[in-house]
Structure 1
Amino acid sequence: MTEDADIAAIHAETLAVQAVLIAVLRRLAAERDDLGPIICGALDDAERVMDAVTLRLGDSVPISSTVGVLRVIEQLRSAIIADESACAPQAD
């Protein structure tokens, strides 16, 4: 494989995994109201992890990479969570 073909294959695989993740988490959130806050919390955790990694690595990582990762997390959140009210804890 050429480098361009390798990049295209990795890109396609990444998109496929994202699509499956979005579909599974959407179904879980739709079927179980109690999972909405957990899914939202996991997405919030992912953002915090990336913030911490960015701080730890400092200037060794280009800011465009960090911003790109955070943008992808936000896009995943938008694709998974149709209504942010699903993130609110459910009353027992």
Structure 2
Amino acid sequence: MHPTGAASLPAAPEAEVQAMHSMDWLFKKERIYLLAQFWQQVTTENKNNRTNNLRNTLSSAITSNRETVSYLHIMAIEKAVHPQNQLIVTH
């Protein structure tokens, strides 16, 4: 028995063109998806870099403030112990 019906007939040229357009749409959709995925990754990396930069800046500021406070604390103690000395702050 031979198969009959649309499945056994060769595809009409219009159907081939339609299938090609469908594949173009699929490839374009895939490119857009990949581009979106790429930008999401870039955005996440930039966000992580900004977070790390802010963390480092904050850490440096805290360290600097601790050093300044320590220096001023030492100077205050020095002034209390030796009130006759005139303090010249050079920090």
Query: What TM-score comes out, normalization by structure 1 length?
Result: 0.34
Higher helix share: 1
> Given the two structures, how large is their TM-score scaled by the length of structure 2?
0.35
Q: Greater RCO between the two (CA within 8 Å, min separation 6)?
A: 1
